[in-house]
Structure 1
Amino acid sequence: MESGKSTARTARSVDNNNVASWWEDTSGNGFTCDVLVVGAGLAGLATALQLSRDQVRVALVDAHPSEEAKRSAFQGGGTLLTPTNVLWARRMGLYKSLSGDPSSSREPDFEALSSPALITNGKVQQGVAASSGANSNSLGWLKAEVEGRKNYAGDEFAYLSLSQSFIEDQILERIRSSRFVKVLWNHAFEGLAGDGEAGGATALVSSPTASMQVRCKYVVGCDGRSSKVRETCFNGDRIEGYEWKEHKGVMLHMMCECQVKWGLERKSYRLEQKSLNGFGPTIGGGAAMPVPGSDNSLYRLSVNAPFTMWGSNMECMEPPPLSLLQKQLKPKLPKGTELADPKWSRYYRMNHFISSAFWASGRVFLVGEAAHAHPPVGILPMNAALEDADNLSWKLSMAVKLGLREGEDGVLASYEEERKPRAEAVRKSIAGYFSDLMQGKLSPIRYAHNDCGLFATYPESRLIVRSNREQKYLVKAGEIAPNVRELFLTNTMKKTTLGEILTSSNKHKIFCFCSDWPVKMDSPYNDSEPSHSGMSFSLGESAEKENCGEKAVKSPRPSVEKMTWDKIQHSVEFMLGKEFVLQCEFYILHTTSKIAHMDGLDYQLIRDPVHVVDAKSQFMLEYFGSDDCLAGVMVRPDMRVGAIGEFPDFLEDLGHYHHQSGVGPAPVHEKK
C-alpha cells in the first residue's frame, strides 16, 4: 500500500446560499470539488449520496453517454438488501421509498434464503433440506440470535427483496435534486495530472468533445472490474484477463434473465442433474431465482456451459444464445418448462479478484468491484459494495470538514484496514458455500448467520479502539450496535429505540450512563438524590485548567471526585477537542424521568446533550451486563461501536480514537 504523506488542511464550511459557486474555475478549463467519484454504478451513487448529505461537494463522472444509456446497458445486479444495509437505507432516507414500492418485499426467513428448494432431474424434491448444523437443532436458533443479541425482530431486520437497478434509480432521484453533486455523463477518467494545492489532486477527465481538469481533495474509483482508477493509480494492479488467462480450464457458467413458464411456486430453486436417472453422481447444476418486479414469470437462471467451452476466452465470445441455455437447462427443469423473452445473457466463472490495495497516495480510493470483484451470484457482492461506500463516505466527510493533521491519515487508512478483510471474507463465504453445496454438506443456517451482516465484526483498526476490559462486556468494539427498546427522549417527550437514534443522522454518537438524577451535585434536588457511591472519577486538574483558559497538562492518573452528567460530558469534550465534538451528538442516559432544570451548570459545554430515560437500565444491561457501572459507548456513523468502556478508561479510549483519526486540530491535552 502506498500511503503517501498528507499535508495539513483546515476545516472548511459551505455557503449554502451559493453552493453553485464552488464549480467555478478561473482557468476556464475545469472545475473544483471536494471529492471526485468515478463511476455511477451502485457504489458510486451510494458514495455520492452519503457525501452530499454531509454537504461535501461531489463531482460524479461516468463514461455512459446518458443516464438512460446506463440504465439500458445494466445487466444483473443484486436482488436482496441484507439487514445491515437495510439500516444503511434508513440512515440515507431511502428505506420508505424502497420498501413501499410494489416491486419490493420483506424476506424475514434468513435460513430459507441460504437453502433454496431442490429440483433434481426436473423433479421437485419434497422435504429435502441440507444439514443445518448442530446449532439448528434448537427451533428458531437464528431468530433467537437476532432478537437476543441484536434486539431486532420482524420487519425491523428482515432482508429487503428488490432489484439493484431500482435502488440506483432512487439514489439518482435524490442526487439530481442535491446542490452538492454535479453528475457528468459521457465523461471518462483518464488519470491524475499531479498534486494540486494543499495536497489535493488534479484529475484529467475527458468527453468526446473536450478535456478538462478537476481539482479535488480525493478521488474515489467506483468504476467496476476494469477500473481505470485502479489501472492508473495503483501501480498496474490490473484485473484484465483474470477471468480466463490465469484460470484457464475453470468451469464456465452461463446466466440470463428470461420468462420461465412452469407451474411451480414463485421462489428460489437449486437445480441438479444426476446420472443414472437420478441415482448416480451429480453431473451438472444451476439455479433459478425470481427477479423482483411486476412480472411474476421473470427469473434469473444460471447453469454450467458445455464442457467443451470451459477453456474459451470469454472476452472473445458473444453472449450465450437462448438455444444454448435451453439445451443446458432442459435436463434440470421440470418437463414442459418453457423459456422465453430473454432480457440479457452472459458467461461468468466462479473467480474472485481482490486488489492489493484499496487506497493509494493518501487520496485515491477503490470501492466496490473496483476494489474486489466476485462472481455475480448470491447476496454478498452488491451488499459488500454498499458497505464499502458507507465505510469510506463518512471518513472522507470528516477529512474534508475537519482537515487532516500534518503527517496523519488514520481516518482514511482505516478504510483499507476494515474493508479489505471483509472483501476476503466475502470471497471465502461464496467459495465455501458452493464447495459445501457440491459436497452435500451445506449448513444453510451458518451461512445465513454470517451473510446477513448482523454479526460481522471489524478487526481492530485505527478507528476501532478495544478496551483492556472488553472481555467482560457483552458488546465489543467493531460490531454493529445492538438495538435497545423503550427509551424516552426528554427533548421531544417521545418514546424511541436506539436503532432510531442511530439511523437519525450520520454523526458519531456518544452515550454516557449517569446517575439517576441529571443535575449537578449542589442542585436544589440534592437532598432527594440517590447515592452516587462508586460513581466517581476525574481527569484531575487538567480539565479544570483548560476550562479556565490555562495551559493543560494531562494528569498521570485520575483522582477521585464526585461526577455529575455535565462533568462527564465536559471531560469527554476535553478529550476529543472542539472541532471533533461538533461532529458528534451526545446522549446522557438516566433511569428516572424526574429530569431537573439544567440552568447553572458548573461547566460550559460545546454541544447540548439529549437526555434519555432508560427506566429499566436496558442499555447498560444489553451492553455491559450490569446496571451499576459508570460507563460510555461511542457509536460511529456506520452504526459500529468505535469504543466502549467504563470511566475513566473510556475517556482514554476516546482520546486514543481522536488521536488515531488524525482529523482536526489536536485537543489541548495532546499539545506540547
Structure 2
Amino acid sequence: MLASYYVHNTHMETGMTNGFAADVLICGAGAAGLTLAIELARRGVSFRLIEKTSKPFPGSRGKGIQPRTQEILEDLGILDKVVAAGGLYPPLREYRDNGSYSEKGTVERAGPTPAEPYHIPLMIPQFITERIMRERLAELGHRVEFGCQLVGLEQDGNGVTARLAGPDGERTVRARYLLGADGGRSFVRGALGIDFPGKTVGVRAIVADVVLSGLDREAWHQFNAGDMERMAAICPLAGTDLFQIQAPVPLAGECDLSADGLGRMIGERTGRSDIQVHSVSWASAYAMNARLADRYRVGRVFLVGDAAHIHPPTGGQGLNTSVQDAYNLGWKLAAVLGGAQDHLLDTYEEERRPVAEAVLGLSTRLLDAQKEGGMPRGREVHQLDIGYPGSLLSQGAAERSGGLRAGSRAPDAPVAGAAGQPSRLFRLFQGPHWTLLVHEAAREPIASRPRLRVHHVGLQGDVIDAGGHVRDAYDLARGECVLIRPDGYIGAIFDADQTAELEAYLVRMGIVCLEEERK
C-alpha cells in the first residue's frame, strides 16, 4: 500500500507548468541519481534532483569503475576526466607473519581489443566520481538541491505528489514520475511498501579514508589474509593522498573510528608500530548485506541503485550496477515523456532486476573466496557480458547463425569516414540518440530523424570498415541493419527490406509517431 504522509504548514510549489514542478523528481544524488540527472538533462527533460544531506558524500566506498561503466562514462562525456583523476589498481601485497610478503595482481591486465576498448578496472574514490558527475550536470545547466528531503508521497494516474522538507520548511510539489535513488535505507522503497528480502552475510566491517605513514603507495597492503578476526587491508586511494582501510570487525559492539582507535587496531593486527594514522576524513562501520527489492516499479515511482539492491563490496559491483540501472531507465523515461508507449518503462525492471540478482550471487561468492584468503577478479566483474536477449525490446533475426543477437552489448570498432578520417563506432553512438547501422544495403531502409541517426557501412557508405573490425564484431550479411539503443545495446536486427517491421519498432520506441508513419 502506498504511504500517505500528512505534513503541516506545506504549500504547493510555484512556477509549475500544467500543475507539475517538473516532469521527474529524483530523490538521491549519489552516482545513480546523478547518472539519471545527466541522462535526462541531455534529453531536455525537466527534473529536480534532491539530496537529503547538506553536502556531498565525502567517502570512497565505491572506488572501482568497471570496463562496462567506463563505456557509459565515455558516452556521458566524463571518462577522460575520471581517468585523469584516478588510476589503476596497485598489486596486492600479502604480508606473512614473519614480515615477508608476496605480490600478485588484483585484476586481470588483459589488453584492449577493437570490440572492447576498456579492459582494466579503474580506481577512483566515489566522492571524486560524483564530483565529476556534478560538474557535468552543471555544464548541462542543472544542480543538486542539497538539504532537501522527501518526507511523503502519494500518486495518482497522472503524477506523484511529493512532500519535501528543507531549510525553509516544508512544501508540496507535483511531478509526473518519482525516482528513488536514495540508497539502501530508501525512504521511497519503504513508502511504497516494497519488500527487501535477502540476508545479512555474517560479516561486519569498517571502511575508513585516512592519512597515514609507514606504508608506501605502490601496493594494496593486506595483512592476515583469510583470518576474519585479524585481517586488515590498506589501499592507497588513487588521485588523493589518502589510504582506505578495510577490516572485518565483531558483529556487535562499538567501533572506535577515530585516528587513535584505527591506529591501535592496525598496530594490533599487523604487529607493527611504524604505521601511524594521523587523521580520518571519513569512516563507517557496516554489516554486509545481500538484498534485492521485490519490485522496481509501482505506478509512477521507480527504485534505482542501492534502493533496489545492495551487495557485499567484493568485486566492486555496487556502484557500477547502480550507474547501469540509471543508464537503462533514463532514456526509457525520456522516451515515454516524449510519446513512447508506457510499457517501455516495464522493461526497466524486466532487464535490470535479473542483472542485480546475478551480481548478488557473484559478490557473495567473491566474499566467500576472500574469507579463504583469495581475491579472484577476472572478466566476470567487468560487466561486459551483460545483455538483454530475452527482453521485449530485443527483436529480429532470431535465425542468425552467428555473430551478435538482439539484446547483446553493441561492440566498438575502429572505422573511417568516407573522407578518410579515423573514427569509432562508439563515437557514432555517443549521445542520446538511437543509431541504425545499414550494412551494404541496396536501398535506404529508413531516413534519419531527430532521435535516430542512420549510417551506411560499406565501400559506398559514410562508414568504411577498412580493417574489417565491424565485420568481425557484428558478422552482418549484406543488407542487414542493426538498431543500437541509446544505452549501447542492440535493440533489433532487420533486413533492409523489412521496412514495415523496422518502422513499427520505432513507433513503439517513440522515435516515429503514428502520424509520421501514416505519411
Q: Given the two structures, how large is their TM-score scaled by the length of structure 1?
A: 0.68
Tell me the equivalent position of 1:478: 407
Residue of structure 2 aligned with 1:104, choices 67, 73, 86: 86
Please give the per-residue CA displacement for 1:177-220, whole angstroms capped at 9, x wherever unaligned. Answer: 544x4643332212333326xx2222222334433232221111
Partner residue, 1:272:
224
Which AA in structure 2 matches 1:426? V
Q: Name the structure 1 match of 2:146.
A: 185
Deviation of 1:85 after TM superposition, in Å, equals 1.9
Q: Could you tell me which of 16, 21, 28 is aligned with 1:25?
A: 16
The Cα of 1:147 is off from its aligned counterpart by 1.8
Give the match for residue 113 of structure 2.
Answer: 147
**TM-superposed deviation, 1:643:** 1.9
Higher strand share: 2
Q: Is the 8 A contact 2:92 2:104 kept in 1?
A: no
Structure 1 equivalent of residue 356 of structure 2: 423
CA deviations on 1:258-281 (whole Å, 9 max, x unpaired) are: 22322445222333268xxxxxx8
- 2:176 corresponds in structure 1 to 217
Q: Is the alpha carbon distance of 1:475 and 1:117 closer, same or farther for their aligned partners in structure 2, counting shifts above 3 Å? A: farther
Aligned with residue 397 of structure 1, among 329, 334, 344 = 334
Q: Deviations over 1:223-281 (max 9, x none)?
A: 11221111112x25368xx8xxx74x92322221222322445222333268xxxxxx8
Residue deviations 1:479-506 (CA, integer Å, cap 9, x gap): 322121132145xx63211122122x12
2:10 paired residue number: none
Give yes or no for the alignment of 1:293 onto 2:282.
no
Q: Which residue is 2:488 aligned to?
A: 639
- Contact kept in structure 2, 1:450 and 1:456, CA below 8 Å: no
Residue in structure 1 matching 2:124, options 162, 181, 187: 162
1:125 is aligned to 101
Change (3 A) 1:645 1:177: closer
Match of 1:451 in 2: 381
Which amino acid in structure 2 is aligned with residue 634 of structure 1?
L
Residue equivalent to 2:9:
none
Give the aligned partner of residue 133 of structure 2: 171
**Residue in 2 aligned with 1:237?**
195
Cα distance in 2 for residues equivalent to 1:450 and 1:40: 28
* Counterpart code for 1:35: V
Select the structure of larger CA radius of gyration: 1
CA distance in 1, matches of 2:17, 2:513: 31
- Residues 461-476 of structure 1 aligned to structure 2 (within 5 Å): 461-465=391-395, 467-470=397-400, 472-476=401-405
Look up the match of 2:303. Answer: 366
Q: 1:589 maps to what in 2?
A: 457
Contact kept in structure 1, 2:212 and 2:279, CA below 8 Å? no
CA distance in 1 between partners of 2:23 and 2:501 (Å): 30
8 A Cα contact 1:36 1:59, kept in partner: yes
Residue segments in structure 1 that go unaligned for 5+ positions in a row: 3-21, 275-280, 516-563, 574-580, 596-610
Deviation, structure 1 residue 332: 4.2
Distance 1:260 1:488, change over 3 A: same
**Aligned with residue 474 of structure 2, among 603, 623, 638:** 623
Q: CA deviation at 1:659?
A: 6.4
Is the partner of 1:402 in helix, strand or coil? coil
Once the two structures are superposed, what CA deviation does each residue of 1:10-62 show, in whole Å capped at 9, x if it has no partner?
xxxxxxxxxxxx972389xx852111111122211221111111111011122
Cα displacement (A) at 1:173 = 2.6
Is the contact made by 2:207 and 2:284 (CA closer than 8 Å) also made in structure 1?
Answer: yes
Cα pair 1:161 1:292 within 8 Å, conserved: yes
* Residues 255 and 345 in structure 1, CA contact (< 8 A), matched pair in contact too: yes
Shift in CA distance, 613/635, structure 1 to aligned 2, threshold 3 Å? same
Shift of 1:396: 0.9
In the alignment, the residues of structure 2 paired with residue 203 and residue 616 of structure 1 have an alpha-carbon distance, to the nearest angstrom, of 54
1:322 is displaced (CA, Å) by 4.2
Q: Identify the residue that residue 556 of structure 1 maps to in structure 2.
A: none
Deviation of 1:87 (Å): 1.8
Percent sequence identity is 23
Alpha-carbon distance change, 129 to 495 in structure 1, aligned in 2, over 3 angstroms? closer
Q: Distance in 2 between matches of 1:430 and 1:55?
A: 36
Q: How does 1:7-18 map to 2 (within 5 A)?
A: none
Contact 2:68 2:384 in 1 (8 A): yes
| C-alpha distance 25-57 of structure 1, shift in aligned 2 (>3 A) | closer
One-letter identity of the residue aligned with 1:502 = F
1:304 aligned partner, one-letter code: P
The residue aligned with 1:12 is none
Check whether the contact 1:78–1:379 (CA below 8 A) recurs between aligned residues: yes
Q: 1:434 to 1:318 in 2, by over 3 A?
A: closer
* Separation of aligned partners in 1, 2:325 and 2:413: 26
Give the counterpart letter for 2:356 in structure 1.
A
Q: Quick one: distance in 1 between partners of 2:168 and 2:373?
A: 57
- The answer on whether the counterparts of 1:418 and 1:461 sit within 8 Å (CA) in structure 2 is yes
- Paired amino acid for 1:498: L
Q: Cα distance 1:151–1:91, how it changes in 2: closer, same or farther (>3 A)?
A: closer
- Report how many residues are paired: 508
| Letter in structure 2 aligned against 1:214 | V
Rounded Cα–Cα distance in structure 1 between residues aligned with 2:49 and 2:216: 44
Residue matched to 1:514: 440
Counterpart residue number, 2:5? none
1:569 aligned residue: 446
1:252 to 194, 204, 213: 204
Residue in 2 that maps onto 1:82 = 66
CA shift digits 1:390-440 (9 cap, x unpaired): 111111111112243xxxx32211111111112122211211112123335
Distance across 1 between alignment mates of 2:49 and 2:358 = 29
1:43 aligned to 2:32?
yes
Q: Say which SS state the counterpart of residue 365 (structure 1) adopts.
A: strand
SS of 2:378 mapped into structure 1: helix
Q: C-alpha separation between the residues in 1 aligned to 2:156 and 2:270?
A: 58
Cα displacement string for residues 300-324 of structure 1 (whole angstroms, at most 9, x for unaligned residues): 111122xxx4245xxxx56634454
Structure with the bigger percentage of helix: 1
Matches within 5 A, 1:203-214: 203-214=162-173
1:341 matched to 2:302? The reply is no
Q: Name the CA shift for 1:43/1:501 in 2 (closer, same or farther; >3 Å).
A: same
Change (3 A) 1:345 1:616: closer
Moved more, 216-225 or 253-262: 253-262
Q: Partners in 2 of 1:395 and 1:469 — Cα distance?
A: 28
CA distance in 2, matches of 1:644, 1:172: 36
Aligned residues of 1:418 and 1:459 also touching (Cα < 8 A)? no
User: What is the CA-CA distance between 1:337 and the residue it aligns to?
Assistant: 2.3
